[in-house]
Structure formats: structure tokens, C-alpha cells
Amino acid sequence: MIVMGIESTAHTFGVGIVDNGKVLADVRSRYIPKKGGILPREVAEYFSSVAGSSVREALASAGIGIKEVNAIGIALGPGMGPQLRIGASVARVISAKYGIPLVPVNHAVAHIEIGRYVTELKDPVVLYVSGGNTIITTYVEGRYRVFGETLDIALGNLLDTFARDVGIGPPYIIDGNHVVDVCAESGKYIKGFPYVVKGQDVSLSGLLTAAENYARNGKELSDICYTLREVSFSSVAEVTERCIAHTNKKELLLTGGVAANKVLNKKLEVLSSERGIDYRPVPFRYAGDNGVMIALTAWFEFQSGITIRPEDAYIEQRWRLDEVEIPWYYLMGQGS
Ligand code: AMP
Ligand code: MG
């Protein structure tokens, strides 16, 4: 069964094609702002300029025609409205024109499912950290339940915003490493940064403000980067560890864009080996947003009979992870 997936929730327009789980195409166009943050309308314009050619390129690289596609997965949220609308329009048009079933995919679920599929972890606690999300979750009775999350900004956003505000980025990633990591290399720990874990949730915005104040007052930037990273990573690791203790699960999955981070990986490796559980991060190439994760998730949804009529496929900017039923959970766990 051949499934196409379209991703357009934030900065990347992605088209992935899988055939019974085998990746046939993975086309990505990433919007990189020249300066400042992401302006949704600008990104949406960029997405419309690359959408048609991305679909054509994906089909060509898979060596198939559009009529051979059995289902189209579309990420309907969570994400930014203007970008989501581009992907949704493209998917609706293809679906309606060629009579190909449309499958609604939650972007957060897709980050988790590609991790689970590729790492072959069956029932993990999941730390999902990206530009827009910081969530500690695991499957309980039909859904991914949120055990903890950020109360304000996401981990990736914290790193990116700090880098931008002190002038060390963009670009934020150099040779696979975040510029905050590069800057932190010879850094030392500064005492007194706010470490905020409230119940099961983390709060990172106070940390950002504190770091920026230190920078403004002329503290050594490498020390600030080191401490910012240390404090933020430790707080998400603490909540993750508590989720593992509560649920008694034996596996830990790291997914989302920040999963590419070596220091975070090291922390989770240590935590997992101390607890005697199996830790695996999503492979580097699938850490960031991509169309393959949408296609893979749609493939499992489609096998569970989940489709949506094109006229009902509305975008949902705040579509929460724990609203989604996951009837295919154990089907994927079998490794298909
Ligand atoms: P996503 O939204 O899932 O595509 O993830 C993008 C986020 O991942 C951005 O905030 C990036 O800065 C972040 N990211 C990518 N690579 C790394 C890395 N090596 N270390 C830390 N953050 C990273
Ligand atoms: Mg993402």
C-alpha cells in the first residue's frame, strides 16, 4: 500500500511517500528567515511556491504516478494557520481530483509514531521536544496521555530565541549542532538561574529572561549558554524520569527536532541506564519536520479505517495530542 504524506505545520513543506512502511520519497523545503523569527504569511507564500514541485518531485523520486497512491495523509495541526492551510489545500485538491482517500494526521502524533516505527520501541515513555512543543507523554488506554509539558515556551524555541536575541543565530544549527551548544563548549555553570518544575510541568520563559539579563549585563556568553542548556535539559529530564517511575514503562523514546541534540541524548542515556530501561532517539534524519512521518502515521491510520472527507478536512491550529485515538498502537508495536 502506497501512502503520501504532506507536512506544512511550521517551517518545512514536506512530501513523503511510503510503500508498506518503506520510504520511497522524502522531499523537504525548509523556510529559513533571513533575520528574525518565522512570519507565518511569508512562510505560507514560500510553501505555495514549492508545493506543486515538491509533490511532482516526490512522485518522480518514488518512480510512481499519482494514481498509484492509495491514501494521502495530511497534517491538519497543531501548527500555524497560514502554513497549515497550504498543505491542507494541496491535499484536499489531490484527494478530490483523483479520488484518493484523505487521512487526517496530528503532527505531534506523527513525531512520536515515526520514532516508534523506526526505533522499534513498542510502548515507550516519549519525550517530544521541538521548536513548538515540549511534551512528556506515553500511551495509556487508547491515547497518548500528556504527563507533563511546558507551561510557556518550547525547548527548541528557548534555544533559538536566546541565540537570536544575543546575536549568535540564525542559522541556529551548524553541522548538526545548535549554536547554543557550540557557544557552550568552554562554558562553566553559573549558579542562580531559575529551574522551574511545577508538578509535572516545566516553565522555560523565566530562564530565557534570566539568561538574556545576564547577557545584557556582560556575563560570559559561553557560561550563559552552558547554564541555559544545563538547566533546561535537566528540568525536562526530571519530568521524563518521573513519568517512567509512575508508569513503570521499560522504554524511552526521544523525538522532535531537539532530539538531534547530543547533550540531551547523553543525559537521557545516563538516566535510562541507571533505571535499566531501553533508550532510543529518533534517527537524526527524522528528528525535524518531514513528510515521511505524516505518510507513515497515515498508513497506520488508514489500516485502522480512519479517513476524512476533503470538505471536512479543516485545519486545527491547537489540535492536542491527547485528543487523538490511537487504535493502531499495538498494530505498529508488532513491527508490521
Ligand atoms: P521541528 O520543529 O520538529 O522541526 O524542530 C525544530 C527545532 O529543533 C528548532 O527549534 C531547532 O533549533 C531544534 N534543533 C535542531 N537540531 C538541534 C540540535 N542539534 N540541538 C538542539 N536543538 C536542535
Ligand atoms: Mg515538529
Residue range 138-150: average pLDDT? 98
Torsion-angle region of residue 243: left (phi > 0), alpha (psi -120 to 50) or beta?
alpha
Task: Place 38 in a pLDDT band, splitting at 50, 70 and 90.
Answer: confident
Whole-angstrom CA distances from 170 to 22, 165, 214 are 34, 10, 20
Q: Is the pLDDT of residue 44 over 90?
A: yes
30, 114, 130: which to mutate for ligand 1, most atoms within 8 A of CB? 130
288 Cβ below 6 A of ligand 1: yes
Q: Which one, of 156, 152, 127, 141, lies nearest residue 252 by Cα?
A: 127
CA of residue 165 to ligand 1 center, whole Å: 17
Q: Is the pLDDT of residue 310 over 60?
A: yes
10 Cβ below 6 A of ligand 1: yes
Amino acid 333: pLDDT: 73
In terms of C-beta density within 10 A (0-12 exposed, 13-18 middle, 19 or more buried), how is residue 183 classed?
Answer: buried
Domains in the chain, start-ordered, CATH in brackets? 2-111+287-331 (3.30.420.40), 122-285 (3.30.420.40)
Amino acid 224: pLDDT: 98
Grid coordinates of 153: 515556551
Q: Is the pLDDT of residue 312 over 80?
A: yes
- The model scores a pTM over 0.85: yes
**297, 110 contact by CB (below 8 A):** yes
130 Cβ below 6 A of ligand 1: yes
Strand partners, 254: 127, 281
**300, 332 contact by CB (below 8 A):** yes
